[in-house]
Amino acid sequence: MDYYYNVLTTVAINMIAILSMYLLIGLTGIFSMGQASFMCVGAYTAGMLATKTALPFGVVIIISIAAGLLSALFVGIPVIKLRRDYIALVTLGFGEAVVALLNNMSNITGGANGINNIPRKVNLWIALGFLVVVVFIILNFKNSRFGRYCIAIKNDELSAAAMGINVARIKLLSFVIAGGITALAGCLMAYNTTYIEPMAYGSAKSIDWICYVFVGGVNSLSGTLVAGAVFNILPEALRVVSIYRILVQGVIVLLTINFLPQGLFGEAEIWTIFQNLFKKKKRKTISSKER
Amino acid sequence: MNILEVENLSVHFGGVKAVQNVSLTVEKGKITSIIGPNGAGKTTFFNLVSGVIPPASGRIIFDGEDITNLSQYEISHKGISRTFQNIRLFNQLNILQNVQSALDARAHYNIFEAFLGLPGKRKVDKENREKSRYYLEIVGMKALAEERPNSLPYGMQRRLELARALASNPKLLLLDEPAAGLNPAEVEEFIALIKKIQSLFDITILLIDHRLKVVHTLSDQIYVLDFGQLLAKGTSEEISRNKDVIRAYMGEEDEE
């Protein structure tokens, strides 16, 4: 039982990180190939503070988020005015640089050995609690003027600017928010696994996240949630054939992109699908009455 | 009174002088047109005025203010709004949200109110949805609010762009070939729509078009561009009698 409990905690934390990718790719259309490095930033901030100081859990979380926001701002300001493909390249470089830096600054970060003995303070309920809060925040963001800016920018930057939207500022905003959310996930992960090492946060992880968003449906928050959950639980379920994990994931991604280019959910959200079903039933009953 | 004054505006792309020393004025409350053959620099001129590309030299004065080197979104906030020759709508937003995007850009709630969905934010959003419905009603598309723009026929997409441009409550509206691709019946509707807009709002219109019918019926003043240079200016009658214009623009053919 304990085992499943741990798996679900890890899945919930990973889903927080994947949601940040939804914010970037799904809403704003920014391809960040180094998003996992912000998770690294959060995890190391938390890890170092937890092992070297006596700061309480809550304060460490806030500092980690702040570290994520600041590093995203630091990367974002020079990057955000670049074209989409160059953003992908620069963030990829940044991600690898962070991993290399943590690997080599062994006197502070423990190098490839990472940081051990972080107290375990995250359980399933805390992780789920944070997941719910992040979903709530991102949903509200999506349904606000900022979310509509992001979609407008993704669809047509020129036309968005002509409507009076400050394109660079909104892109930076979404990049920074995503950085903060990813760092939060990193912080929770450090407190969950009690052990962190840099190699787990390379570009492969960022690219995995991009795949999840695409499979779930680029414009669908619930699609991202479902795909994130499935892809994170799958490796545990396939533990016996773990070497085929990447194969299975690759096949799913290929099939989805081939047959459902919009992703599993497309632009729909689970709740709107249910609403529509309900509405259709209502309409049917009305029309049958009319008859 | 002139709302827009352009002085000696020039821009070149490599060796191509797209716009050369163009000076023109747009009178407040009137409809001014720019006509010219393909490649005359009409759209480039619009791109200069709306800030898409910076001019190489010259000045643009809008409503008494120099807006020459402002960026696109700043110019939009000064009160210039535009439509595009090749329609540029936000296909992943619904029709209402497309119009609302212009109002959103002028809404004043901050990111934390947005995160938490506070009542202040909801009130502003609700008001803006109502306003957007009003603009959709003007162009006769209120019933389609929840649809996606890419499901619309071409003529309606044009009208939606117009509604979106109007929603930013501009002082000057730039229409880039608004009647392109419309059939004769739609052109009639469009002319009526422009007249309606002019009667409803305190607005100045600068438009580019190929259709002489549109230009002649609507314009108070016409400028003719050819090879990036200003060829002539005048009322529609003066222009249709101008020999240079006939040679450059209409060639040997009859009027369409």
Q: Which of B82, B88, B123, B169 to mutate to test the interface with A (most CBs of A within 10 A)?
A: B88
Which residues in chain A have Cβ-Cβ distances shorter than 8 Å to B93?
148, 151-152, 155
Facing B72 at nearest CB: one of A141, A161, A219: A161
For residue A176, pLDDT beyond 80: yes
The answer to whether B101 contacts A160, with C-beta atoms less than 8 Å apart, is yes
Task: Give Cβ neighbours of residue A271 (< 8 Å, ≥ 6 apart).
Answer: A222
- CA-nearest residue to B88 within chain A is A159
Structure ipTM over 0.95, yes or no: no
The answer to whether A141 contacts B114, with C-beta atoms less than 8 Å apart, is yes
- CA-nearest residue to B167 within chain A is A163
The answer to whether A145 contacts B81, with C-beta atoms less than 8 Å apart, is no
- CA-nearest residue to B86 within chain A is A159
Q: Residue A289: pLDDT band by 50, 70, 90 thresholds?
A: very low
Q: Say how many CA atoms lie within 13 Å of B162 toward its Cβ.
A: 26
For residue A229, pLDDT beyond 60: yes
Residue B246 C-alpha, separation from nearest chain A C-alpha, in angstroms? 34
Task: Name the B residues in 172-231 with CB < 8 Å from any A CB.
Answer: none
- CA-nearest residue to B169 within chain A is A163
The answer to whether B116 contacts A146, with C-beta atoms less than 8 Å apart, is no
- CA-nearest residue to A152 within chain B is B90
A58 vs A291, which has greater pLDDT? A58
Cα–Cα distance for residue pair B80/B49, rounded to 1 Å: 9
pLDDT of residue A281: 59
For position A125, which CATH number holds?
1.10.3470
Which residues in chain B have Cβ-Cβ distances shorter than 8 Å to A151?
90, 92-93
The answer to whether A149 contacts B105, with C-beta atoms less than 8 Å apart, is yes
Query: What's the alpha-carbon Rg for chain A, to the nearest Å?
Result: 20
Q: Residue A68: pLDDT band by 50, 70, 90 thresholds?
A: very high
Q: Residue A101: which H helix or E strand, with range?
A: helix A84-104
Would you state the torsion angle of the CA atoms of residues B216, B218, B219, B220, taken in this order, to the nearest 10 degrees? 120
Burial class (CB within 10 angstroms; exposed 0-12, middle 13-18, buried 19+) of B114:
buried
pLDDT of residue A3: 83
Residue B110 C-alpha, separation from nearest chain A C-alpha, in angstroms? 9
B104 touches A at CB < 8 Å: yes
CA angle B221–B47–B13, rounded 5-degree value: 115
The answer to whether A152 contacts B90, with C-beta atoms less than 8 Å apart, is yes
Task: Name the A residues in 54-83 with CB < 8 Å from any B CB.
Answer: none
The answer to whether A162 contacts B81, with C-beta atoms less than 8 Å apart, is yes
- CA-nearest residue to B46 within chain A is A162
Average confidence score pLDDT of chain B: 88
Query: What's the alpha-carbon Rg for chain B, to the nearest Å?
Result: 19
The answer to whether A162 contacts B100, with C-beta atoms less than 8 Å apart, is no
pLDDT of residue B132: 94
Range(s) of the domain holding residue A183: 2-290
- Give the total residue count for chain B: 256
Q: How many domains does chain A divide into?
A: 1
- As separate numbers, helices (DSSP H) first and strands (DSSP E) second, chain B gives 10, 10
Cα–Cα distance for residue pair A193/B179, rounded to 1 Å: 63
Q: Within 10 A of A173 (CB to CB), how many other CB atoms are there?
A: 20
- CA-nearest residue to A166 within chain B is B73
Per-residue model confidence as pLDDT tens digits over B187-240: 898 899 999 999 999 899 999 987 777 888 888 899 988 888 888 888 888 887
Percent above pLDDT 70 for chain B? 97
Which residues in chain A have Cβ-Cβ distances shorter than 8 Å to B168?
163-164
The residue extents of the domains of chain B are 1-79+170-256, 89-168
A138 vs A291, which has greater pLDDT? A138
Tokens 């062994």, located at residue: A106
Tokens 């949903």, located at residue: A139
Q: Residue A282: pLDDT band by 50, 70, 90 thresholds?
A: low
pLDDT of residue B255: 46
Q: Are A184 and A177 in contact (CB under 8 A)?
A: no
Task: Name the B residues in 44-83 with CB < 8 Å from any A CB.
Answer: 50-52, 71-73, 76-77, 81-82
Query: What separation, in Å, do the N-terminal and C-terminal C-alpha atoms of chain A show?
Result: 56
Q: Residue A63: pLDDT band by 50, 70, 90 thresholds?
A: very high
pLDDT of residue B249: 65
Facing B168 at nearest CB: one of A141, A152, A164: A164
Q: What is the residue-wise DSSP string for B142-210?
A: GGGTTS-GGGS-HHHHHHHHHHHHHHT--SEEEEESTTTT--HHHHHHHHHHHHHHHHHS--EEEEE-S
Highest mean pLDDT among A167-176, A247-256, B201-210: A167-176
Cα–Cα distance for residue pair A233/A184, rounded to 1 Å: 21
A154 touches B at CB < 8 Å: yes
Inter-chain Cβ pairs, chain A and chain B, closer than 8 A: 97
Classify domain B1-79+170-256 at the CATH topology level.
Rossmann fold (3.40.50)
A266 touches B at CB < 8 Å: no
Cα–Cα distance for residue pair A189/A61, rounded to 1 Å: 11
- pTM here is 0.89
For residue A276, pLDDT beyond 90: no
pLDDT of residue B252: 55
pLDDT of residue A291: 41
Cα–Cα distance for residue pair A272/A170, rounded to 1 Å: 27
Q: Residue A220: pLDDT band by 50, 70, 90 thresholds?
A: confident
Which residues of chain B, if any, have pLDDT below 70? 249-256
Residue B123 C-alpha, separation from nearest chain A C-alpha, in angstroms? 11
Residue A147 C-alpha, separation from nearest chain B C-alpha, in angstroms? 9
Which residues in chain B have Cβ-Cβ distances shorter than 8 Å to A164?
73, 76-77, 102, 105-106, 168
Q: Residue A280: pLDDT band by 50, 70, 90 thresholds?
A: low
